[in-house]
Amino acid sequence: MEARGALGDEAPQRGESRSGTRRLPVWLLGLIPLALIAIAVGTFAGLGAPGLGERPGPPAEELVVERTVLRPGEIQLTVRNDGPDAVQVAQVAVNDAYTDFSAGSGEVSRLAAEKFTIPYDWVEGEAYEIFLLTSTGGTVEHGIDVAVETPQNDLGFFGLMALLGLYVGVIPVTIGMLWLPFVRRIPKAGLRFLMALTVGLLAFLALDATLEGLEVVREESGAPQAFGGTALVFVGAGLAYLALAAVESHLEARQERARAGGASGAHLALLVAVGIGLHNLGEGLAIGSAYAVGALALGAFLVIGFAIHNTTEGLAIVAPTAGTRLSLRRLVTFGLIAGAPAIVGAWIGAAAFNPSVAALLIGAGAGAIVRVIQQLTPSIRDGLGRALHPASVGGIVSGMAILYVTGLLLSA
């Protein structure tokens, strides 16, 4: 009724407007409001915002140290302007002592970044407190908790990060996929339990990724806020969710394989692999950036912890394929899709860590997983169509518990 009424109201209007705008092409009608707003903005700015005057008070100076690089006898800071006004850095002090430094002009304009190079005889393992003194006398403080030389971005370093990504990503995921023969033999109820377990694993990963992403970009972590801050995690999640949904519908349309019970096994496995891959990208980022600032020892324990933790991800990929025949090549591809992003993440994290980009990527991991969980849900329904029956709840809780317990290995 509503819709019809609206249409009815519209009809005479269209009739009226036709006579006035008969000769104007449609594209021009679309452009008129844009042109008007451009003229209005231009006039407003050209007249110096009449009636509003200047913003009261001194300039707001908000600088954030985005990246710290330590080289022998030298500290480099990449400083980003996170506030509304340009900031002029006049002097630099390390541990309450003024020091020489070099920078472009010292002026950091809005959203821009500037590199400050400070000759300083730092000592490995010690902590440093740096303050930048601006032209107005304001200070921006930055702490280096443990001074350790930043790895050079040479081939050996990239090799090391690749090895690390292999250890924590590709190998454990692939090993986990060896549960496939087991998955194929177990009865239907058992499979439902395993699918629920997968949902539990993924739910835990999504939650974990969200918290990790929020931690990386929150103001207290020293991340710039001008690019969106914690909102970036949710933007990333939303984009990944929508992108994945779009890709699915595209595939389904092409294959003309709409099913009442959800997507096919291979299709679901691919989705899980993509979701887990995005998650492992975030994991690699965290590992690489922690290693680069010396906050992570590449001990055997860390690798073992991650390996056990991530093996369960392999199970999550193969569980949906129980009733489907898949070539070995396809399985290996799924393994790489899920595991290899850890390598890429470690590279990015160690060589060019940027909290805003990291938050977006980690959020994307979480969003992708949410979409995957949604797609998996039909496969855990029992004969009565219930998703949350005792067996599935047991599976979900078990999945979360497995990751919680194996996660404890990592914090040690």
Give the interface with other proteins as residue ranges (CB under 8 A): 88, 90-93, 96-101, 106, 119-121, 131, 133-139
Contacts of 46 (CB under 8 A, 6+ apart): none
Residue 33 Cβ, how far from other proteins at the closest point, in Å? 46
Q: Which CB, 10 or 100, lies closer to other proteins?
A: 100
Residue 292 Cβ, how far from other proteins at the closest point, in Å? 26
**Number of residues that make up the chain:** 412
Q: Which CB, 104 or 159, lies closer to other proteins?
A: 104
d(CA 397, CA 196): 9
Measured from the Cβ of residue 24, the count of other Cβ atoms closer than 10 Å reads 10
Query: Which three-class secondary structure state does DSSP give residue 265?
Result: helix
At 45, list the tokens. 């700015």
Q: What is the crossing angle of helices 300-318 and 328-339, to 10°? A: 130
Q: Which CB, 43 or 139, lies closer to other proteins?
A: 139
Q: Which CB, 93 or 304, lies closer to other proteins?
A: 93
Strand order in the sheet with 63-71: 63-71, 74-81, 113-119
Q: Which amino acid is at 352?
A: A
Contacts of 52 (CB under 8 A, 6+ apart): none
Residue 65 Cβ, how far from other proteins at the closest point, in Å? 17
Residue 198 Cβ, how far from other proteins at the closest point, in Å? 53
Instruction: Identify the H or E element spanning 108.
Output: strand 107-108
At 392, list the tokens. 């599935």
Pairing outcome for strands 74-81 and 113-119: antiparallel
d(CA 346, CA 163): 10
Residue 104 Cβ, how far from other proteins at the closest point, in Å? 13
Q: Which CB, 74 or 248, lies closer to other proteins?
A: 74
Radius of gyration of the chain, Cα coordinates, nearest whole angstrom: 27
Instruction: Identify the H or E element spanning 129.
Output: strand 128-134
At 47, list the tokens. 């007249």
Residue 89 Cβ, how far from other proteins at the closest point, in Å? 8
Residue 93 Cβ, how far from other proteins at the closest point, in Å? 7
* DSSP string for residues in 137-162: S-EEEEEESS--PPPP-SHHHHHHHH
Residue 132 Cβ, how far from other proteins at the closest point, in Å? 11
Residue 101 Cβ, how far from other proteins at the closest point, in Å? 6
Q: Which CB, 95 or 374, lies closer to other proteins?
A: 95
Q: Which CB, 107 or 382, lies closer to other proteins?
A: 107
Residue 85 Cβ, how far from other proteins at the closest point, in Å? 15
Q: Which CB, 132 or 285, lies closer to other proteins?
A: 132
The residues pairing with 67 across neighbouring beta strands, listed in sequence order, are 78
d(CA 35, CA 382): 59
C-alpha to C-alpha distances, 13 to 16, 17, 69, 122, nearest whole angstrom: 5, 6, 65, 75
Q: Which CB, 141 or 149, lies closer to other proteins?
A: 141
Q: Which CB, 127 or 189, lies closer to other proteins?
A: 127
Phi first, then psi, for residue 203 (nearest 5°) are: -60, -40
